């Protein structure tokens, strides 16, 4: 990690961000920004100072006022893989809002208009999601580098703008206890300049490391992120997506989606803490697709006839209508009710009775699978509450 000395403006490299106190800057990249390659030219006065250089100078002044000697800077690959930790370890994070202009109308001693603050582009960018969550202390400044206020001071307003739980904004440690699906809803309305960054900007927030492959496209980048989440966690809210405007032709896309936009939801997604049928084998992605073990409720009225093969003790049938099998996550809807995520499928299946299991295990034949997708449904739709373990 490279830091800028706030007095000499020279770089120095540190290998552990916890070894030094530093101020970090969050901003929307605009014209006249200073790149690492151009930095020596500004330092030697060989290039006329622009708004980007002024931003660096102002950040150094703020750091010195806070009695901190260093301001952060980082190279691309290191920044993307470690940026969340850089922000979390910083003494202070300064947020410059280039589109918020001076006006003491937010509240006394806060120089900006409330409408401009709410509509700032900074709140719509993918990279700034981790920058509003990771730091311990955040200060906001307007386009003239004048004080707007702290995150704590405007916590309720920021929570309304970002749709993030105020508890997560107040304490970054709370984020560790939120589900993957919840964190992805925070990113569902955000955008990035480069398509791939819609996946890369979430690495730190989701505690995932993976290679950066610019040129692969945003869909592949985000799907690789989902695959990493499936490998490292049993949090099934990673499947809790489904936006009507994402697949208008009602086409199937499998268990992975192409964008965080499909996680857009006004509800809070939560994992069930108790399961009706105990331990379940972990899911994994294979060369045949997603391998997932689900419970088959005994009370479910299937509405189809089983033909028994007496010697093999295997039952085979064509399902007459889509069947819903529950995943281990629920969400609270607007009226306070509960919806559970289920996999709906229409297919030919075989089931083998096992005495050790309370229900039956279904083996879906991939060659005859007609339809499989996740959808939200009420627990009473086809099962009693006991079967859902809620």
- Per-residue pLDDT, averaged over 166-181, amounts to 91
- Per-residue pLDDT, averaged over 112-118, amounts to 83
Q: Give residue-wise pLDDT tens across range 257-310.
A: 899 998 887 566 777 644 444 566 778 877 777 777 766 554 443 433 333 333
What percentage of the chain carries pLDDT values higher than 70? 68
By the 8 A CB rule, do 148 and 141 touch?
Answer: yes
Is residue 103 classed exposed, middle or buried when 0-12, 13-18 and 19+ CB atoms within 10 A define those classes?
A: middle
Lowest mean pLDDT among 40-44, 145-149, 196-200, 292-296: 292-296
- Per-residue pLDDT, averaged over 319-323, amounts to 56
For residue 221, the model assigns a pLDDT of 95
By the 8 A CB rule, do 339 and 376 touch?
Answer: yes
By the 8 A CB rule, do 82 and 13 touch?
Answer: no
For residue 156, the model assigns a pLDDT of 92
Q: What is the largest CA-CA distance in the chain?
A: 89
The total number of residues shown for the chain amounts to 390
Q: What is residue 308's three-state secondary structure?
A: strand
Is residue 365 classed exposed, middle or buried when 0-12, 13-18 and 19+ CB atoms within 10 A define those classes?
A: exposed
Phi and psi (nearest 5°) for 386? Answer: -65, -35
Pair of tokens at residue 154: 């405007």
Q: Give residue-wise pLDDT tens across range 19-68.
A: 888 888 888 877 778 877 787 877 777 566 677 888 888 888 888 887 77
Residue 204 predicted with pLDDT over 80 = yes
- CA dist., res. 292 & res. 255, Å (int): 11
By the 8 A CB rule, do 277 and 358 touch?
Answer: yes
- CA dist., res. 172 & res. 195, Å (int): 27
Between 353 and 132, residue with greater pLDDT: 132
- CA dist., res. 80 & res. 84, Å (int): 8
- Where do runs of H (alpha helix) occur along 35-192? 39-43, 51-65, 76-89, 114-118, 128-133, 155-162, 166-170, 180-186
For residue 267, the model assigns a pLDDT of 63
Nearest Cα residue to 296 out of 338, 330, 324: 324
Nearest Cα residue to 254 out of 155, 179, 366, 332: 366
Give pTM, 2 decimals.
0.77
For residue 358, the model assigns a pLDDT of 41
**So where are the chain's domains?**
2-177, 180-271, 284-388
Residue 113 predicted with pLDDT over 70 = yes
């Amino acid at each position: 990690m490279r830091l800028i000395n706030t007095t000499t403006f020279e770089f120095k490299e540190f290998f552990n961000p916890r070894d030094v106190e530093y101020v970090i800057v969050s901003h929307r990249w605009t014209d006249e920004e200073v790149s690492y390659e151009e930095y020596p030219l500004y330092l030697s006065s060989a290039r006329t100072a622009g708004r980007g250089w002024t931003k660096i100078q102002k950040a150094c002044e703020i750091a010195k006022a806070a009695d901190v000697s260093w301001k952060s800077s980082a190279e691309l690959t290191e920044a993307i893989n470690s940026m969340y930790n850089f922000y979390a370890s910083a003494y202070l994070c300064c947020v410059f809002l280039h589109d918020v202009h001076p006006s003491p109308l937010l509240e006394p001693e806060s120089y900006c208009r409330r409408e401009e603050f709410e509509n700032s582009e900074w709140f719509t960018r993918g990279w700034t999601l981790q920058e509003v969550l990771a730091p311990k202390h955040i200060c906001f400044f307007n386009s003239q580098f004048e004080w707007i206020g702290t995150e704590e001071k405007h916590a309720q307003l920021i929570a309304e703008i970002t749709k993030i739980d105020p508890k997560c904004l107040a304490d970054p440690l709370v984020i560790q206890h939120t589900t993957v699906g919840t964190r992805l809803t925070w990113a569902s309305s955000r955008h990035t300049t480069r398509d791939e960054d819609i996946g890369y900007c979430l690495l730190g927030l989701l505690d995932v490391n993976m290679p950066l492959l610019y040129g692969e496209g945003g869909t592949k980048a985000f799907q690789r992120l989902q695959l990493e989440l499936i490998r490292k966690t049993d949090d099934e809210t990673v499947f809790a997506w489904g936006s009507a405007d994402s697949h208008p032709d009602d086409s199937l896309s499998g268990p992975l989606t192409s964008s965080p936009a499909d996680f857009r939801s006004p509800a809070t997604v939560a994992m069930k803490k108790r399961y009706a049928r105990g331990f379940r084998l972990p899911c994994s992605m294979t060369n045949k697709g997603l391998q997932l073990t689900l419970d088959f409720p005994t009370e479910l009225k299937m509405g189809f006839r089983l033909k028994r093969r007496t010697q093999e003790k295997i039952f085979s049938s064509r399902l007459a209508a889509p069947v819903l099998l529950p995943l281990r996550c629920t969400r609270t809807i607007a009226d306070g009710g509960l919806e559970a995520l289920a996999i709906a499928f229409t297919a030919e299946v075989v089931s083998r009775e096992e005495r050790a299991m309370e229900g039956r295990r279904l083996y879906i034949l991939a060659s005859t699978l007609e339809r499989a997708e996740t959808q939200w449904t009420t627990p009473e739709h086809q099962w009693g509450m006991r079967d859902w373990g809620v």
